[in-house]
Amino acid sequence: MLELHSPMSPVVIVLVSDGKRCLLGRQSSFPQGMYSALAGFCDMGETLEETLSREVAEEVGLEVYSVSYSSSQHWPFPHSSLMLGCHASVSPTHTQLNVNHAELEDARWFTVEEISSALKVKTPPHRGDPPVLWLPPKHAIANRLITEWMDRQRRSEGGE
């Protein structure tokens, strides 16, 4: 029997680090206070590494110097996508952000302490509540990337 499948678009989602902090961005469509890993669709013929480097450069003006693959996740929104999760490093001496506001509303560096506190927030803040950093939920690959980064940072610091 012939099966018809809808096309699946590959998307790179990347958590960028400068060795001590991780970089998260937010789109205006996100719930109040929510920040996430950077992401973008692969162009035809582009490698995972090329897409990741291009997206980071386009969205925040940084040059990536190392990439490691983490995991993948099917993501049905807004259409069928295969998200390829990666970690990327940038030079600690070149961390000045140049946020492309056509792509992102904001992007910022966050410390392990800020990420640890944000991972404890289980629901987005309500309108009118004081601003609080909120991260994607546990089922999202962005949450996995953020948690992996935090765990690595704590191990390297001899922490928890």
Structure token digits, residue 89: 């490093």
- To which residue do tokens 């693959």 refer? 69
Task: Please tell me the predicted confidence (pLDDT) of residue 62.
Answer: 98
Cβ pair 150, 119 in contact under 8 A: yes
Summarised one tens digit per residue, pLDDT across range 16-46 is 999 999 999 999 998 888 999 999 999 989 9
In this prediction, residue 6 carries a pLDDT of 60
pLDDT of residue 16: 98
Flag whether pLDDT at 160 surpasses 60: no
Burial state string for 31-64 with b = 16 or more CB within 10 A and e = fewer than 16: eebbbbbbbbebeeeeeeeebbbbbbeebbebeb
The confidence score (pLDDT) of residue 9 equals 80
Classify domain 9-156 at the CATH topology level. Nucleoside Triphosphate Pyrophosphohydrolase (3.90.79)
Domain boundaries, the chain: 9-156
Average predicted confidence (pLDDT) for the chain: 90
pLDDT digit string, tens, across residues 59-84: 999 999 999 999 999 877 767 889 99
pLDDT above 80 (res 12): yes
Pick the closest to residue 8 from 87, 69, 61, 84 (CA basis).
84
**Who wins on pLDDT, 125 or 20?**
20
Which residues are CB-neighbours of 25 under 8 A, at least 6 positions away? 35, 36, 37, 38, 59, 60, 99, 104, 105, 106, 107, 108
Structure tokens belonging to residue 71 = 């995991």
